[in-house]
Each structure stands twice: as structure tokens, then as C-alpha cells.
Amino acid sequence: MDTRTHWDKIYKTKAPEVVSWYRPHLETSLALIERAASGKSASIIDVGGGESTLVDDLLARGYDNLTVFDVSQTAVDVTKKRLGLAAERVHWIVADITEAHLARLEFLNSRRLVSREDLGCDLIDSDAAGDRIGNRL
């Protein structure tokens, strides 16, 4: 089973609140973003955003340059439906982060500011990059 099929199956068969990683609100991530963002128009990406409510809370706080990146179309569709018309204010990317080829981008995610140049590669993956670029918050 490939990665996309695996995650689509999980999101089709389990309610968001029953998976171990679910939190109704990501207070720590929100606090870090508030501290690090240069303003409400800062580019913020939620890699592996899936059915996370982080995008809901960022929209509610007035952020307007948001990207949600996830391998599962099912998870993205659930989140878009939950957001309703507000989903139109978010850039959505459905792809496997290990295979994605992204243009020159710079994002603030909930852990650190990551740019392609920091990583020395074409992928933005904050978990893998953490050891290489250090925590900037």
C-alpha cells in the first residue's frame, strides 16, 4: 500500500477526534506562530495538516497567507468542508512531501522558519530540517 492510500484509508475510516495526534486546538503551535510571524500576512504552511484545526484557528486570528500541505485528499476534503467558504482563503497542496517539487518558497510553520535554501534541497520538511537549521524561535 502506498503512502497516499494508507492515509486516505485512515481518514476515511476514523473520526478526527479518535486518532492519537488529534487536538481540538494547537495552543503551543498558535503561540509559536504568534511569536514568530512578522504579521498577519506571513506565509504559513501546515505540512501534514490533514484534518488539523490549526488552519481554522489561524483564519480566525486573521492570518491570510496560509497553505495546508497533506498527502491525503480525503483529509483535505474533510477540512475544506469543515471550513466552508473560508476554505477559499487557503492554498491547498495534496502531495507526498518526500516527492514534491516546490518552487522557491519560504514559510513559517509552527516549529521554525524554513526555506529551501536553509535545507539545501527542494523540499520543505521542518521535522527533518530541525537538526540542520536549528530552532529559530
Q: pLDDT of 49-64, one tens digit each? A: 888 999 999 999 999 9
- Percent of the chain clearing pLDDT 90 (strictly above): 34
Q: pLDDT of 80-108, one tens digit each? A: 999 999 999 999 999 888 887 766 555 65
Q: DSSP assignment, residue 12?
A: H
**In sequence order, which residues have a C-beta less than 8 Å from that of residue 114 and are 6 or more positions away?**
106, 107, 124, 125, 126, 129, 133
- Percent of the chain clearing pLDDT 70 (strictly above): 69
Report how far apart the first and last C-alpha atoms of the chain are (Å, whole number).
37
CA-CA-CA-CA dihedral for 51, 53, 59, 61, to nearest 10: -170
CATH code at 3-8+38-133: 3.40.50.150
User: How many alpha carbons lie under 13 Å from residue 55 in its C-beta half-sphere?
Assistant: 30
What pTM value is reported for the model?
Answer: 0.70
Instruction: Locate the domains of the chain by residue range.
Output: 3-8+38-133
